[in-house]
Chain A
Amino acid sequence: DQQVKQNSPSLSVQEGRISILNCDYTNSMFDYFLWYKKYPAEGPTFLISISSIKDKNEDGRFTVFLNKSAKHLSLHIVPSQPGDSAVYFCAASEGGNNRKLIWGLGTSLAVNP
């Protein structure tokens, strides 16, 4: 059973516009959420994270919003650039020393010039 769901396998956006990538989760014990960007044949690159005590975190062009009641988070990229084209993964972890990540299946973002 997929605890972290990214229901859109792909997204296409025009350069300069906003990209919105969505993620839903089912485990209410998750308290930390991360977004990673991944190119083919490379490891995931950390983008931005958010703790469950917050509802928004911003870093440059990237903003993550968390709606705990809906168990939903989203990543906004503004403005989108062609170099943002990659697969974006949402990941979540529970409290505790382990901190292993549970991942979604990813959303492939294509930013068109």
Chain B
Amino acid sequence: DTGVSQNPRHKITKRGQNVTFRCDPISEHNRLYWYRQTLGQGPEFLTYFQNEAQLEKSRLLSDRFSAERPKGSFSTLEIQRTEQGDSAMYLCASTSRVTGNTIYFGEGSWLTVV
């Protein structure tokens, strides 16, 4: 499977705990995005990487959120001291100039904070 891969697919955690999600983009894609989606809403942009450089962060990304893409390949999204409002699906997507402007999404990581 050469699509965007995310894990874990589902995570249930207690309030206050830290969680980390991993995204493996399509191998030749140099651009990687994180989005968050809650029920009844469209995905909301969180952050964007071009290679290893994090070029943009949304205001939605509070200090408790951090994303990395250390070698320009996979990326991690960490949420510290989780709150119930963090419960959502976290989507990773990737693209490159080769694919034009089409952005391909992974299956998503569903977070439930109890």
* A interface residues with partner B (beta carbon < 8 Å): 4, 32, 34, 36, 41-46, 49, 51, 89, 91, 93, 97-106
Q: Which residue of A lies closest to B42 (CB)?
A: A103
A32 to B95, CA, bound (A): 14
Are A34 and B103 in contact (CB-based, < 8 A)? yes
Interface flags, B71-108, vs A, CB<8A=1, else 0 = 00000000000000000010101010000011111111
Are A41 and B42 in contact (CB-based, < 8 A)? no
Contacting residue for A89 out of B4, B42, B44, CB 8 A: B42
Name the prevailing secondary structure of the B interface residues: strand
Instruction: Assess whether B45 is interfacial by the CB under 8 Å rule.
Output: yes
Are A100 and B91 in contact (CB-based, < 8 A)? no
Q: Smallest distance from the beta carbon of B38 to chain A beta carbons, Å?
A: 11
Are B102 and A100 in contact (CB-based, < 8 A)? no
Q: Smallest distance from the beta carbon of A87 to chain B beta carbons, Å?
A: 9
* B interface residues with partner A (beta carbon < 8 Å): 4, 6, 31, 33, 35, 40-45, 48, 50, 55-56, 89, 91, 93, 95, 101-108, 110
A91 to B107, CA, bound (A): 18
A86 to B22, CA, bound (A): 26
Contacting residue for B110 out of A4, A41, A93, CB 8 A: A41
Known: A41-B89, A41-B110, A44-B91. A99 touches B101 (CB 8 A): yes
Q: Which residue of A lies closest to B43 (CB)?
A: A103
Contacting residue for A100 out of B33, B89, B105, CB 8 A: B33
Instruction: Enumerate 27 A-B pairs (CB-CB under 8 Å) in ascending A order.
Output: A4-B42, A34-B101, A34-B103, A36-B105, A41-B89, A43-B6, A43-B91, A43-B93, A43-B107, A44-B105, A45-B105, A46-B105, A49-B101, A49-B102, A51-B101, A89-B42, A89-B43, A93-B101, A97-B55, A98-B56, A99-B103, A100-B33, A100-B45, A100-B56, A101-B35, A102-B45, A105-B40
